[in-house]
């Protein structure tokens, strides 16, 4: 987090974690760029996309798990808190860790856009930048508005250097260390 962001933070990370622990189950809270973010509850197509991706990951890389909604410490100096729609890591990677785990060892984060006004800023910009700053090798964005799959990779200095985007229906290669090939034709079934 930059000094100017830290100076203007809405609350401390510790206050955020306390608030997140007591939030009702109908909302998901995140802390990005010193600001409290409210993530909408996913709809049925959103959940179906995550399950589709989970099956792809399990079939091709059974030594990895795709953890839904795993709390991660992100951004510079671990000052952000995010709950990606999916986090790909080795089996049992998060065992014994608390609600907000370090991003070390995470191979990929996944976000599926929601149909709300904040998705552009949240999923396409702020979370992408937070995951890059945390050094997460791959960020997969499944964009339901654009019907595209964008593979962000090669993080350096808080930015992903590669960001190819593919239309639904394309074959998408997720680079190392993920090493999974996605046949995305099925995503067209979830474009409502």
pLDDT tens readout for residues 91-127: 999 999 988 899 999 999 999 988 766 665 777 888 8
Could you give the CA distance from residue 189 to residue 2 in angstroms, rounded to a whole number? 41
For residue 15 the two structure tokens come to 């206050």
Convert the pLDDT of each residue in 74-86 to its tens digit: 876 457 888 899 9
Note the pTM of the prediction, 2 decimals. 0.78
Task: Break the chain into its structural domains and give their ranges.
Answer: 43-190
pLDDT band at residue 35 using 50, 70 and 90 as cut-offs? low
Over pLDDT 90: what percentage of the chain? Answer: 55
40-74 pLDDT per residue, tens: 556 668 889 999 999 999 999 999 999 998 999 88
Which is more confidently placed, 132 or 19?
132
Comparing 2-16, 38-52, 134-148, the range with the smallest average pLDDT is: 2-16
Q: Cα 112 from chain centroid?
A: 8
The rounded distance, in Å, linking the Cα atoms of 108 and 153 is 9
Higher-pLDDT residue of 33 and 96 is: 96
CA distance 160 to 128: 8
H-helix or E-strand containing 155?
A: strand 148-156
Q: Are 182 and 174 in contact (CB under 8 A)?
A: yes
- Residues with Cβ within 8 Å of 57's Cβ and at least 6 positions away in sequence, in order, are 64, 65, 66, 88, 180
CATH number belonging to domain 43-190: 3.90.1570.10
User: What would the pLDDT profile of 164-190 be if each residue is shown by its tens digit?
Assistant: 999 999 999 999 999 999 999 999 999
State the pLDDT confidence band at 191, using cuts at 50, 70 and 90.
confident
Considering only CA atoms, which of 181, 180, 133 is closest in space to residue 160? 133
pLDDT at 32 over 70: no
């Amino acid at each position: 987090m930059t000094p100017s962001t830290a100076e203007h933070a809405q609350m401390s990370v510790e206050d955020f974690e306390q608030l997140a622990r007591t939030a009702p189950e109908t909302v998901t809270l995140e802390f990005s760029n010193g600001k409290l973010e409210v993530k909408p509850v996913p709809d049925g197509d959103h959940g179906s996309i995550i399950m589709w991706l989970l099956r792809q990951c399990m079939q091709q890389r059974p030594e990895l798990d795709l953890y839904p909604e795993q709390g991660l410490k992100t951004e510079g100096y671990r000052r952000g808190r995010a709950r990606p729609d999916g986090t790909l890591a080795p089996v049992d990677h998060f065992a014994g860790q608390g609600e907000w785990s370090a991003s070390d060892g995470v191979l990929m984060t996944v976000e599926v856009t929601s149909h709300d006004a904040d998705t552009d800023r949240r999923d396409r910009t702020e979370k992408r930048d937070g995951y890059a700053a945390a050094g997460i090798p791959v960020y997969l964005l499944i964009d339901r508005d654009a019907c595209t799959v964008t593979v962000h990779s090669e993080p350096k200095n808080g930015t992903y250097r590669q960001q190819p985007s593919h239309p639904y229906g394309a074959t998408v290669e997720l680079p190392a260390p993920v090493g999974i090939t996605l046949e995305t034709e099925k995503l067209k079934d979830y474009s409502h």
